[in-house]
Amino acid sequence: MIMSKHLIIFTHGNLGQSLLDTVSLIIPFDFEIKVISNRGLDLKGSVKLLESAIREGDNFLFTDFPGGSCFMASKLLSKSRTIFTVSGVNISMIVSFITKYKTNSSEELLEIIKNDGKRAIDY
């Protein structure tokens, strides 16, 4: 049985929506990517918001940074659901999900996304 995969971008402020708007200028996609913000929410409120965004199947959750309330909410929920959380969301990670989610298992996709996200950082 093939498990469906979903992407949720959960960030502080408007960061997630800005990233998705930018990605949509780079590559077309024809499925829903949920963007949620923790603006005005405490951790309990963030957990509740995230809970309402999770769908049946494997949920990939991109957060802005480790240790933040978005990341902590995802870790609390991942104890009872299939959530693959990756912090440090960037454009490359979103593009990788869009282009590779159909052809890879969730575990493979997680590794690809982590590697592509790291590769996007240069100095």
Q: What tokens appear for 76 in the block?
A: 């609390």
89, 63 Cβ separation under 8 angstroms: yes
Angle (nearest 5°) at CA 4 between 54 and 92: 80
Fold of 5-119: Rossmann fold (3.40.50)
Helix (H), strand (E) at residue 104: none
Rounded to an integer, the average pLDDT of 93-119 is: 98
36, 53 Cβ separation under 8 angstroms: yes
Question: What is the phi/psi pair of residue 54, to 5°?
Answer: -70, 140
On whether the pTM is more than 0.85, the answer is yes
pLDDT per residue as tens digits for the range 9-67: 999 999 999 999 999 999 999 999 999 999 999 999 999 999 999 999 999 999 999 99
Domain boundaries, the chain: 5-119
